[in-house]
Amino acid sequence: MELLYFFEKIRIPGLNEFMLAITTLGDETAFLVIALILFWCIDKYAGYYTLSVGFIGTIANQFLKLWFRIPRPWVLDENFTILEQAREGAGGYSFPSGHTQSAVGTFGSIAATVKNKKICIAAILIAALVAISRMYIGVHTPLDVGVSVILAVALIFAVRPLVFKHRRIGMPVLLAAMILMAVGYLCFVEFYQFPAEVFATDNYHHGLENAYTLLGALAGLVIVYIVDEKWLHFSVKAVWWAQILKVVIGLGLVLAVKAGMKGMLNGIFGELLGRSVRYGLIVIVAGILWPLSFRFFAKLGKKE
C-alpha cells in the first residue's frame, strides 16, 4: 500500500490520462486484435504462440482470482482512492492482475519472436508501462501485478519451444493441454463449494462466463489448427495496403459475428452454452473462413 500511496500522491491530470490510455493495452480487445494481426499478416505460428500464452494465462488468472478472492486495494484500505475513471472497469477480485497478465503475455510474446531490437524494446516497455499503470490508477497492488508478470514470463518461455522448435508434436500437446485446463477450470467454477456469499456476487458470474468463453474459444482453435494443417495451409503474404484491408475487413467480420450471433445462439443454447458456441464460431470464422480469402489479397498489387 505504501507504493500505491506514492502513486496516489504524484497523480496529475496529464499523467492520469496517459496511464488510463496505456492500461487499455491490457484489455481483452487489444489482445485479440494484436493476436489476429500476427495470425493473419505476420506469421500464423506467432499468432498461435500469442493466443496460447494468452489463453493459458487467462485460465490460470481466473482460477487464482476465484481461489484467493482478494478484494481491490480501496476495499482493503478505505483511506486509499483510485482514479474514478478506472472504477467501472475494475470489477471482480484483485489478485492477480488480468490486464498485466494479458499485456506481458501479448507484448512479451512479440518481444520473444521478433528479430528487430527496436520492436523488442518497445514491446517490453509497453508491457512494463501497463503493469505500472494498474498500480498508478489504483486498481491493483504490487503483489497482484508481480505474480501476473512472473506467470506471464514463465508461459512465454514454456510455450515458445512447443510452437516453434517442436511444432509437430508440441502444438497437438499444447492444444490438448489447453482444452484440459479449460475443462478443469469450468468444472472448478461449476462444482467447487464456494462460500455462499461468493455465488451472489458478480465475481462468480464473471468467472463462470469466462469458463464457458475459454472452452468455446479453445475448441474453435483446435478445429482451426486441424483444418489448416490438413487442408487449408493459408499464406499470410500480401502487399502492405492489402494487409491493412485484410485486417480492417476481417476485424469487422469477427465483430459482426460476435454481436450478431449473440441473441440467436443464446436463444437456442441458453446464455452460458450459447456464449461458448459463439466464441467457438468467432475463432472458426477468424481462423478458417476469413483466411479462405487470403489468396485474393495476395494477388492484390501484383503486376500481371
The rounded distance, in Å, linking the Cα atoms of 290 and 300 is 16
Cα–chain center distance at 64: 16
Show the low-confidence residues of the chain (pLDDT under 50): 304
The C-alpha cell 500522491 sits at 9
Cα Rg of the chain, angstroms: 20
Q: Contact 210/186 with Cβ under 8 angstroms?
A: no
70-114: pLDDT as tens digits: 999 998 898 999 988 888 877 788 999 999 999 999 999 999 999
Instruction: Give the three cell numbers for residue 236.
Output: 499470410
The rounded distance, in Å, linking the Cα atoms of 48 and 38 is 9
The rounded distance, in Å, linking the Cα atoms of 87 and 67 is 23
Q: In this predicted structure, what is the pLDDT of residue 275?
A: 95
The C-alpha cell 464456494 sits at 194
The rounded distance, in Å, linking the Cα atoms of 27 and 100 is 9
Q: Contact 49/113 with Cβ under 8 angstroms?
A: yes
Identity at 200, one-letter amino acid code:
A
The rounded distance, in Å, linking the Cα atoms of 56 and 223 is 18
Q: In this predicted structure, what is the pLDDT of residue 201?
A: 76
Residue 120, number of CB atoms within 10 A of its CB: 17
Q: In this predicted structure, what is the pLDDT of residue 198?
A: 84
Q: In this predicted structure, what is the pLDDT of residue 271?
A: 93
180 class by beta-carbon count within 10 Å (0-12 exposed, 13-18 middle, 19+ buried): exposed
Cis peptide bond N-terminal to 195, omega within 30: no
11-45: pLDDT as tens digits: 999 999 999 999 999 998 999 999 999 999 999 99
Q: In this predicted structure, what is the pLDDT of residue 303?
A: 54
